[in-house]
Structure 1
């Protein structure tokens, strides 16, 4: 009952609306521009470039700019590698099955590497969830736009988000000192924890991607990377109980979010209306992501699927089906990965106690 209560408790706000407005504007302006010029195929590159604004939530302006520059550069690198990976697969003439397994392997590497970098940088949000999503989603696009156009949109969006991040310095009452304290050196224990966390991301993402691909090929499901994204969600948390709760919250929030999205799609929205919905969902997600994960997922789910529909139109019912199946697979794998060490410790402690009693 205590775990259930914690899962549906809303933490107090901490100027979340300021971050939410920045992130909503950061994704809305680039997306509405590419839609209005008739280049919805570039929307996915703008969407992931806008993730730059998620970092450095409550920092001073200079430190926020520094954090977002590093986070944005890493995301641009991931975007570049993803689109090059897709082009390499096409150039080599890989079959659909071979291409899928190659993407799972490459995304698993990205999961571990980006998790390690983010941990060593002490960035928040922690982990490589956004990088997994960006790499796999872009790498899975069959018909890639010209490379220079992809990267130009991503870079311009990143720069725009950087400007939004420091724009409040124009307001005297919101201006913070242009100073940044020297970063504290990582201890050996923190470095060890970063490497262990990266290994956890590799295991969770790899297992989820493998299982989702096998099940998908057997039952005809797609979007296996959604399982990889869901699998790493439980890895972020203070305790095993909190991590397990995040995995369950991911499933509950996804189901509720899909119900909302299904209702919206019945209205058959135009592309510009979809952009408005993405911006609104981005605002809602940032308002609650640090306070109530289930509620945040009600916004995140329509946000992710609407962006997917905008960039690569697909039958909505297929997306809705794939989303829930892949989320359940991934969340189950993530819960198993975070729960296994605790189970092992209890078994080892029990076995040790029995040996001592036998003596």
Structure 2
């Protein structure tokens, strides 16, 4: 009952509307610009470039700029690798199945490497969820736009989000000292934890991607990277209880978010209206992502799928089906990865206790 109550409880607010508004503007302006230019084929590059704005949300301006600059450069590197991977798959003339299987190890490597980098830099949000999503989604696009156009949009969006990040300095009441963050000194335990976390992301993403691709071929569904994204969600947290709760919240929130998405699709919105809905979803996601993860998924799910529909139009019913199946597979794998060390420690402790009991000398009773 305690875990159930925690799952639906909501934490106190801490001026969450400030970072939420920055993130919403960082998404809305670049996407609206692309709508006006008639280049929605580049929308996905702007969407992932805008992830720069989610870092350093509560930090002073100087620290926030440094964190967002690092985050932006890392995301640009991931976007570039994704476009190159898509072109490599096209050059090899792989079919859909071959591309899906190639995507799994490539995305797995991105998951582990970016997790290690984010942990090394002590950035929040932790983990490589956004980088997994960005790499796999872009690499899955069959018809890639010119490379220079894609990267130009991503770079300009990143620069715009950096400007938005310290724009409040023009207000004296909101201005904070421009102080560079101190160099991070990591203890041996922190370095070991970073490597272990990266290993966890490798295992969870790789296993989820493999299972989702295999099951998708048998049952006829796609978007295997959604399972990889869902698999790493439970890996973020300080306790096993918290991590399992996040995995369950991901499933429940996705189901409810799909209901909202179905209503949005029925409205048959114009492109500029769709972009406005995406900005509102981004605002809602940032408002609740720290306070109530399940509630945040009501906004995250429509946001992710609408961005997919903008670039690669697909029947909404198929996207809804794929999203829930892939999320269940991924979240189940993530929870299993979280529980595996606990189960292993329990087995070792019982085995050790049993060996010690057997080896304990038997006392001969005195007559």
- Into which bin does the TM-score normalised by the smaller protein fall? over 0.9
Q: Deviations over 1:210-254 (max 9, x none)?
A: 000000011110100000000000000111111011100000000
Cross-structure match for 2:103: 103
Distance 2:253 2:133 in 1: 18
Are 2:185 and 1:185 aligned? yes
What is the Cα deviation at residue 92 of structure 1? Answer: 1.8
Moved more, 4-13 or 344-353: 344-353
Taking the TM superposition and a 5 Å limit, the aligned residue runs for 1:31-42 are 31-42=31-42
User: RMSD over aligned Cα, in angstroms?
Assistant: 0.8
**Aligned partner of residue 166 in structure 2, secondary structure:** helix
How many residue pairs match? The answer is: 359
Aligned counterparts of 1:183 and 1:247: Cα–Cα separation in 2:
34
Equivalent residue number for residue 156 of structure 1:
156
Verify the 8 A CA contact 2:107 2:135 in the aligned structure 1.
yes
Partner of 1:241: 241
Pairing of 1:38-117 with structure 2 (within 5 A): 38-117=38-117
Question: Equivalents in 2 of 1:47, 1:96: separation in Å?
Answer: 24
Q: Which residue is 2:287 aligned to? A: 287
SS in 2 for 1:143: coil
What's the counterpart of residue 25 of structure 1? Answer: 25
Are the counterparts in 1 of residues 111 and 205 from structure 2 also a CA contact under 8 Å?
Answer: yes
Once the two structures are superposed, what CA deviation does each residue of 1:86-128 show, in whole Å capped at 9, x if it has no partner? 0111112123222111111100000000000000000000000
Deviation at 1:61, TM superposition (A): 0.4
- TM-score, L = length of structure 2: 0.97
Q: State the partner residue of 1:195.
A: 195
Report the Cα distance in structure 2 between the residues aligned to 1:127 and 1:30, rounded to whole angstroms. Answer: 26
Residue 224 of structure 1 pairs with residue 224 of structure 2: yes
Match of residue 273 from structure 2: 273
d(CA) in 2 for partners of 1:254 and 1:162?
30
Structure 1 window deviating more from structure 2 (177-186 vs 286-295): it is 177-186
Decide which structure has the larger Cα Rg and report it: 2
Gaps of 5+ in 1: none
Cα distance in structure 2, aligned partners of 1:20 and 1:344: 41
Deviation at 1:181, TM superposition (A): 4.2
Following superposition, the deviation at residue 155 of structure 1 comes to 0.3
In structure 1, the partner of 2:363 is none
Q: Secondary structure at the match of 1:329?
A: helix
1:205 aligns with 2:205: yes
Q: Distance in 1 between the 2:68 and 2:35 partners?
A: 26
Q: CA deviation at 1:354?
A: 2.0
Instruction: Quote the Cα distance in structure 2 between the aligned partners of 1:354 and 1:158.
Output: 58
Q: Does 1:347 align with 2:347?
A: yes
Residues of 2 paired with 1:268 and 1:54: CA distance? 29
Runs of 4+ in 1 over 6 A off after TM superposition: none
Aligned to 2:19, what secondary structure does the other structure show? helix
Aligned: 1:299 with 2:285: no
Deviations 1:49-97 (A, max 9, x none): 0000000011110110010000000000000000011011111212322
Q: Distance in 2 between matches of 1:171 and 1:259?
A: 40
Cα displacement (A) at 1:184: 3.5
Task: Tell me the distance in 2 between the aligned counterparts of 1:279 and 1:115.
Answer: 27
Task: Report which stretch shifted further, 66-75 or 32-41.
Answer: 32-41
Q: Return the alpha-carbon distance in structure 1 between the equivalents of residues 342 and 31 of structure 2.
A: 44
Tell me the equivalent position of 1:135.
135
1:209 aligned counterpart, secondary structure? helix
Q: State the distance in 1 between where 2:277 and 2:356 align.
A: 62
Segments of 5+ residues of structure 2 without an aligned counterpart are: 361-367
1:162-188 deviation line (CA, Å, top 9, x unaligned)? 000000000001000111342340111
More divergent stretch after superposition (160-169 vs 306-315): 306-315
8 Å CA contact 2:66–2:180 kept in 1: the answer is no
